Amino acid sequence: MEKQKINIAIVGLGFGAEFIPIYQRHPNANMYAICQRDPEKMNSIGDAFGIEKRYSDYDELLKDPDVDAVHINTPIQNHAEQSIKALRAGKHVACTVPMATTVEECRQIVEAVHETGLTYMMMETVIYSREFLFVKELYENGELGKIQFLRASHQQEMAGWPGYWEGLPPMHYATHCVGPVLAIAKADAEYVSCFGSGRIDEPLIEKYGSPFAVESCHIKFKDSDLAAEVTRSLFNTARQYRESFDVYGSKKTFEWTLVEHEDSVIHNGEVPEKVKIPDYAHLLPEEIQSFTTGGVYDADSNQHLSFIQGSGHGGSHPHLVNEFLNALVNKRAPFPDAKQSANITCVGILAHESAMDGGKKIALPAFTFS
């Protein structure tokens, strides 16, 4: 792609509306089109942000030759089909998590990227959060020493979310805790073993046949002496919302706060010290730096539940947009690219399979290795 302005189409305008003003201000983007099945909602948002190109039919959007890339923010069961359609239609793809709901769908996306030469990026928020960028900086500066172990959790109460979430296996939506442990180590997952614990309400079990209140998975890293543990819960488990990761190093250890909005902790040897996490807006173009601390969902009347529970996703949204656009303009792979996204996503899919089989060890498929 020779031009420096990328024509972006955002698909899905619930959570997806958060990204519209970021693309509008980014120096390498033209916020070209929106797509939403509900015409009333589509027109309301289109009018609010001054976007002329509007589609209520995704297939019609993909026929538009002026669309360079789509940013998909639709329900999770649509991600794979819409990503594959877009790639086959000649469009680059950014897609909210997870990449897909089956290993086979992940394989098809990786194959489509390979065959078309186009770009795919899973927009995993935690690996661009200020907390992750802070720990990444510590690690790359040598302050943590050798990483010895990683742990992450994503605990959430999904009551009141749209119907397709009801009874969802916890590990099927695990990228927020799998992503950071793999990303900080710059590693692929080689195999997993996962146990389920507890039991959710019987009516919730029926949709997916998943009984567990909590799933806890061990991940063995490929070509590494490292392992990680990740824990996920969605229903019937009393816990404040928490997306977290801990990194245990030979020199220093970082532990996420136990209570939202309190300080995280750095352990220097056996001495703990509370730490204020800085913002990392300085890594971004000046035009979008303000979006690390504010966005569409600031007003109480305009808040999306994902954004509320995720505490603004750690200021990650402009970093995600910037990474995707920079990859396109500079003709390089984004992080995470298709294979890395598949590895992160398949950990969760196969972890649930392992839990249903009593903790059986299951290897990640070779197509997910970067």
Alpha-carbon span 220 to 364, nearest angstrom: 10
Same domain, 179 and 36: no
In a domain, 297, yes or no: no
Which DSSP state fits 280?
-
Same domain, 87 and 137: no
Same domain, 56 and 140: no
pLDDT tens-digit series, residues 70-111: 999 999 999 999 999 999 999 999 999 999 999 999 999 999
Q: What is the pLDDT of residue 296?
A: 60
Using DSSP, how many helices (H) and how many strands (E) does the chain show?
11, 15
In a domain, 305, yes or no: no
Higher pLDDT, 1 or 33: 33
| Alpha-carbon radius of gyration of the chain | 20
Residue 10 has pLDDT above 80, yes or no: yes
Same domain, 37 and 105: yes
> How far is CA 331 from each of CA 165, 325, 326, 334, rounded to the nearest angstrom?
36, 10, 8, 9
Q: pLDDT band at 305, cuts 50/70/90?
A: very low
Same domain, 208 and 243: yes
Same domain, 117 and 130: no
Q: What is the pLDDT of residue 301?
A: 46
Mean pLDDT along residues 23-52: 97
Q: What CATH number does residue 223 fall under?
A: 3.30.360.10
Residue 160 has pLDDT above 90, yes or no: no
Residue % of the chain over a pLDDT of 70: 94
pLDDT tens-digit series, residues 212-223: 999 999 999 999
Question: Which residues contact residue 360 at a Cβ distance below 8 angstroms, ignoring those fewer than 6 apart?
Answer: 193, 353, 354
In a domain, 308, yes or no: no
Q: What is the pLDDT of residue 300?
A: 45
pLDDT tens-digit series, residues 320-363: 999 999 999 999 999 999 999 999 999 999 999 999 999 999 99
In a domain, 137, yes or no: yes
Q: What is the pLDDT of residue 273?
A: 97
Residue 233 has pLDDT above 70, yes or no: yes
Same domain, 48 and 188: no
Same domain, 134 and 220: yes
Same domain, 98 and 216: no
Structural domain range at position 272 = 126-283+346-368
Residue 304 has pLDDT above 50, yes or no: no
Alpha-carbon span 173 to 124, nearest angstrom: 11
Residue 311 has pLDDT above 70, yes or no: no
Name the residue with tokens 């999306």.
Answer: 304
- Mean pLDDT taken over the chain: 94
Q: What is the pLDDT of residue 3?
A: 54
Same domain, 118 and 170: no
Q: What CATH number does residue 321 fall under?
A: 3.40.50.720
Report, in this order, helix, strand and coil percent for the chain, each rounded to 5: 40, 25, 35
In a domain, 307, yes or no: no
Q: What is the pLDDT of residue 263?
A: 96
Same domain, 57 and 170: no
Q: What is the pLDDT of residue 2?
A: 45
Q: What is the pLDDT of residue 295?
A: 67
Same domain, 240 and 251: yes
pLDDT tens-digit series, residues 262-291: 999 999 999 999 999 999 999 999 999 999
In a domain, 264, yes or no: yes
Higher pLDDT, 84 or 161: 84
In a domain, 31, yes or no: yes
Query: What are the residues facing 196 on neighbouring strands?
Result: 215
Torsion sign over Cα 344, 350, 355, 359: negative
- Say how many domains are in the chain: 2
Collapsed DSSP state (helix, strand, coil) of residue 279: coil
In a domain, 112, yes or no: yes
